[in-house]
Amino acid sequence: MPELPEVETIRRDLAPLVTGRRIVGVEVDRGTLDRLAGVPIEALRGTLVGRRVEGLGRRGKYLLLALDDGCTLVMHLRMTGRLVWREGKASEEPYERAKLLLDGGAELRWSDLRKFGTWQVVEDATAVTDKLGPEPLDPLFSVAGLRTSLAGRAAPVKAVLLDQRRVAGLGNIYVDEALYEAGVRPDAPAGDLSAASVRRLHGAMRSVLERGIENRGASFRDYVDGQGNQGQQHMFVQVFRRQGKPCYRCGTLIARTVVAGRGTHFCPRCQRPPRKRRADARRPG
């Protein structure tokens, strides 16, 4: 569910609320603990209770709750996870699975319909974040870097953009949106993109993510921000889940296919088909 803009919205909502608070309790639903944290509740409490929160960061789609002993609670919401701030006696969230009790009576509530989300307490957060590719909104993420990631790959460009080791934070919504904005077909072999297409794609990735953040994320289904409110971005998407509806740019009906195992939406006219390599131009071996 949540991609970079959704996770970043949650981070911005919660960071000022949690920073400086002390964790005074941890509760996890019994049927969820194994999948969520993979450790006994006593172990989880031992590492969290009594710690002061130093800040809330983000890397790719991970939330990083920094603790005063140098450890980090690394959280991933996967498909249906939610993390919301609640004062004291607010009623239980739908599919609430866990909560962090904070001093002063507030709570961070974790709910997750499908139970795919994960928590792990690590001494060194780089053990997790080092596996991720660059942050697409970081100034260090360059056209040249993107070109390198795509170069020589036969995989569909969409598959490469979804690979968190190449670039961190894009998911199914924003990949489809970025490819539309760049005028690139999702199934084009990554290595076949022209220099101009790579440049457009780089700009499009950034602009769709920035717009997603400005609109506080896309609430197609489960996503809510750190206060439990829906985002707005789903009302502004150009292609995602718009199959059968006219392209806003040219009127052609938006198509839906499967690429990289994911539902994929694109405009057959605005997004050029992958350039066909002529059989006689292919090098043997």
Partner DNA sequence: CGTTACCTGAAA
Partner DNA sequence: TTTCAGGTAACG
DSSP annotation of 32: H
Residue where the block lists tokens 């800040």:
55
b/e burial code for range 62-95 (CB count within 10 A of at least 16 → b): bbbbbbeeebbbbbbbebbbbbbbbeeeeeebeb
Query: 27 catalytic, yes or no?
Result: no
> Which span (101-109, 167-175, 245-253, 271-279) binds DNA, by CB under 7 A?
167-175
| Under rule CB under 7 A, residue 38 binds DNA | no
Query: 61 catalytic, yes or no?
Result: yes
> Which span (40-48, 50-58, 73-81, 197-205) binds DNA, by CB under 7 A?
73-81
| Under rule CB under 7 A, residue 171 binds DNA | yes
**What are the two backbone dihedrals, phi and then psi, of residue 147, each rounded to the nearest 5 degrees?**
-60, -45
Site for DNA in 215-254 (CB under 7 A): 217-223
The binder of DNA chosen from 21, 22, 45, 262 (CB under 7 A)? 262
Please give the Cα distance from 185 to 282 (Å, whole number): 21
The binder of DNA chosen from 61, 109, 166, 202 (CB under 7 A)? 61
| Under rule CB under 7 A, residue 179 binds DNA | no
> Which span (50-58, 99-107, 108-116, 275-283) binds DNA, by CB under 7 A?
108-116
Please give the Cα distance from 149 to 193 (Å, whole number): 12
Distance of CA 270 to the CA centre of its chain: 26
> Which of helix, strand or coil describes residue 166?
coil
Q: Report, in Å, the least distance between residue 262 CB and DNA.
A: 5
The binder of DNA chosen from 38, 40, 114, 126 (CB under 7 A)? 114
| Under rule CB under 7 A, residue 72 binds DNA | no
Catalytic residue, chosen from 58, 61, 115, 200, is: 61
Q: Please report, as a single letter, which amino acid is at residue 67.
A: L
Strands, DSSP E only, in the chain?
A: 23-28, 53-59, 62-67, 72-76, 81-87, 96-102, 106-112, 118-122, 255-259, 262-266
Q: Report, in Å, the least distance between residue 263 CB and DNA.
A: 3
Q: Report, in Å, the least distance between residue 49 CB and DNA.
A: 26
Q: Which residues contact 251 (CB under 8 A, 6 or more apart)?
A: none
Q: Report, in Å, the least distance between residue 215 CB and DNA.
A: 12
Catalytic residues: 2-3, 61, 262
Binding residues (CB under 7 A) for DNA: these are 1-3, 6, 31, 35, 60-61, 76, 78-79, 113-116, 153-156, 159, 162, 164, 171-173, 217-223, 258, 260-263
